[in-house]
Amino acid sequence: MHAIETTTKLSMAAAEAAVREALATQGFGVLTEIDVAATLKAKLGVERSPLKILGACNPTFAHRALDLDELVSLLLPCNVVLAATGDGTRISAVDPRELMTGDAFQQLANEAAELLAAAIAAVPTA
């Protein structure tokens, strides 16, 4: 699967704050948050490097997508993932063009991808 990605030298905490701010600037709110590392530790006793999933939603895009096909709710919200790397944080966002295929979704998916890419690009890399 293709993702919209960048890597930053920011710590996970600083990268998360920057991502949340950049998403808000582009009209996205974070509806859900899953600390994968903490969950695996608590449920399975497994240690892993930090990994967090933010469920981002732009209400205007969600409304438009649901009007086209209510089953698109299976794809909502858009996941933005932060993963610790050796020297910073990798930030990846789902590319809506990969998930919402077909002519009916083309314009909407392109618009959503453009705003997600702008949010990811706004995160400082150093």
- pLDDT grade, residue 2 (50/70/90)? confident
Closest by CA position to 49, among listed 81, 5, 97, 1: 81
- Please indicate, yes or no, if residue 33 is contained in any of the structural domains: yes
Domain limits for position 57: 3-121
Helix ranges (H only) for the chain are 12-25, 36-44, 59-68, 96-99, 103-121
Contact 50, 90 (CB under 8 A): no
| Residue 1: pLDDT over 80 | no
Full-model pTM: 0.94
- Please indicate, yes or no, if residue 126 is contained in any of the structural domains: no
> How confident is the model over 13-44, as pLDDT tens digits?
999 999 999 999 999 999 999 999 999 999 99
Q: What is the pLDDT of residue 90?
A: 98
- Domain CATH number, residue 12: 3.30.310.70
Distance CA(78)–CA(90), nearest Å, equals: 17
Helices (H) and strands (E) in the chain, counts: 5, 5
- Please indicate, yes or no, if residue 85 is contained in any of the structural domains: yes
- Please indicate, yes or no, if residue 82 is contained in any of the structural domains: yes
For 97, half-sphere exposure in the C-beta direction (CA atoms, 13 angstrom radius) is 12
Looking at residues 64-80, what average pLDDT do you find? 95
Contact 91, 82 (CB under 8 A): yes
- Please indicate, yes or no, if residue 27 is contained in any of the structural domains: yes
Measure CA 103 to chain center: 23
Domain total in the chain: 1
Secondary structure (3-state) at 28: coil
Distance CA(50)–CA(72), nearest Å, equals: 29
